[in-house]
C-alpha cells in the first residue's frame, strides 16, 4: 500500500509540475494582453512637451522606435521640435522636426560661424572661448557676444542641454583612458578635441573645417560630435 501511495504521490507531483508550467505560460500571455488594456495616468508629458524652467523654452520630443537592447545604450529613433526655430535647409523626412540625438549647439553669426576669433578661430576646442564681437549687415553696426551668445551647449536626449565649461581644479577628475579632457559639463560629461569630418553638403560653410569634439558620458560611453549638420534660424 505504501508503494502505491508513493507512486501516486510522485505521479501527482509530476502532473502538477507540468500543469504549473502550462499555467505560467498562459498567465504570462494573459498578463501581456491585459497590460495593453490597462488605463494608466498620462503624466505631465503626455504630448511629449517639455518646459525648461530656467529659460521658459518649450519643446516637444517623441520616440518613434525603441528596441530593448542588451546593455545601457538605447536603440531608438526619436525626434524633437523646438517652436520658434526652423531649419535653414530642411533635410530628411521629419519636416520641421530634428533627430533626437546628442549634439553641440550655440548662437553664432552667419559671417564667422562657430569660431573663437583670431587666426586660429576654427580650433574651437583647443581655444575654447566665446565667438567675440561681430559686425552687422553692411558693417553698419557691431554686436558684442553678450548680446547674442549664451554659451556653447551640449544637448543629450533625456537630459536636455547643459553649458560646456573649461575644466578647473574644482571640477571632478577627468576620465583616465589616455585622453585629455579639457572641457566638462555640470552633469559630468567630459569633452575632448576631435577632427571635424568634412561634409560636402556644407562645403562652403565657415564651420566645415577645424576641430570637433568627442563627448564621454558619466557611464563611460563616448559620442563623436565631429560632423557639421547645418544652421538654424529664428
Encode pLDDT of 35-60 as tens digits. Answer: 555 666 666 666 778 887 767 788 88
Laid out side by side, the sheet with 75-81 consists of 49-51, 58-67, 75-81, 98-99
Using 50, 70 and 90 to split pLDDT, how confident is the model at 209? confident
Residue 219 CA, distance from chain mean position: 14
Domain boundaries, the chain: 45-100, 102-232
Question: In whole angstroms, what is the distance from residue 110 CA to residue 195 CA?
Answer: 22
Which pLDDT tens digit goes with each residue over 155-202? 988 888 899 999 998 888 899 999 999 999 999 999 999 988 765 545
Once rounded to an integer, what is the mean pLDDT over residues 17-35? Answer: 60
Q: Specify the higher pLDDT residue, 110 or 64.
A: 64
Q: pLDDT tens digits for 113-151?
A: 888 866 667 888 999 988 888 888 777 788 888 888 889
CB hemisphere CA count around 95 (13 angstroms): 3
> What tens digit of pLDDT does each residue of 212-227 get?
899 999 988 888 887 7
Could you list the beta-strand ranges (E) of the chain.
Answer: 49-51, 58-67, 75-81, 86-87, 98-99, 103-105, 134-135, 142-143, 153-156, 160-163, 165-166, 183-184, 190-195, 211-216, 222-225, 232-233
pLDDT band at 230 (very low <50, low <70, confident <90, very high): low
pLDDT of residue 9: 41
Q: State how far the Cα of 112 lies from the Cα of 108, in Å rounded to an integer.
A: 7
User: H/E/C letters for each residue in 73-97?
Assistant: CCEEEEEEECCCCEECCCCCCCCCC
Pair 48, 40: CB distance under 8 Å? no
Q: With the CA atoms of 117, 122, 128 and 129 taken in that order, what torsion angle do they form, in degrees rounded to the nearest 10?
A: 20
Characterize 141-174 residue by residue with b for buried, 16 or more Cβ atoms within 10 angstroms of its Cβ, and e for exposed.
eeeebeeebeebbbebbeebbbebeebeeebeeb
Amino acid at each position: 500500500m505504501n508503494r502505491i501511495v508513493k507512486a501516486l504521490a510522485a505521479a501527482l507531483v509530476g502532473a502538477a509540475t507540468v500543469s504549473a508550467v502550462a499555467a505560467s505560460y498562459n498567465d504570462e500571455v494573459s498578463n501581456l494582453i491585459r497590460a495593453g488594456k490597462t488605463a494608466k495616468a498620462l503624466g505631465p508629458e503626455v504630448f511629449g512637451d517639455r518646459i525648461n524652467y530656467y529659460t521658459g523654452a518649450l519643446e516637444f520630443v517623441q520616440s518613434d522606435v525603441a528596441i530593448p537592447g542588451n546593455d545601457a545604450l538605447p536603440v531608438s529613433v526619436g525626434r524633437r521640435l523646438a517652436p520658434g526655430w526652423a531649419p535653414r535647409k530642411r533635410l530628411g523626412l521629419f519636416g520641421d522636426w530634428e533627430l533626437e540625438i546628442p549634439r553641440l549647439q550655440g548662437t553664432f553669426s552667419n559671417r564667422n560661424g562657430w569660431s573663437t576669433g583670431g587666426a586660429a578661430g576654427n580650433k574651437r576646442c583647443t581655444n575654447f572661448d566665446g565667438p567675440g564681437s561681430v559686425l552687422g549687415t553692411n558693417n553698419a553696426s557691431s554686436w558684442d557676444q553678450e548680446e547674442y551668445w549664451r554659451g556653447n551647449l551640449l544637448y543629450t536626449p533625456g537630459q536636455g542641454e547643459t553649458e560646456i565649461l573649461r575644466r578647473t581644479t574644482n571640477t571632478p577628475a577627468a576620465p583616465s583612458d589616455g585622453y585629455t579632457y579639457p572641457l566638462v559639463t555640470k552633469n559630468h560629461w567630459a569633452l575632448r578635441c576631435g577632427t571635424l569630418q568634412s561634409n560636402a553638403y556644407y562645403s562652403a560653410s565657415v564651420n566645415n573645417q577645424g576641430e570637433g569634439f568627442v563627448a564621454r558620458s558619466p557611464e563611460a560611453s563616448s559620442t563623436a560630435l565631429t560632423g557639421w549638420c547645418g544652421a538654424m534660424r529664428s
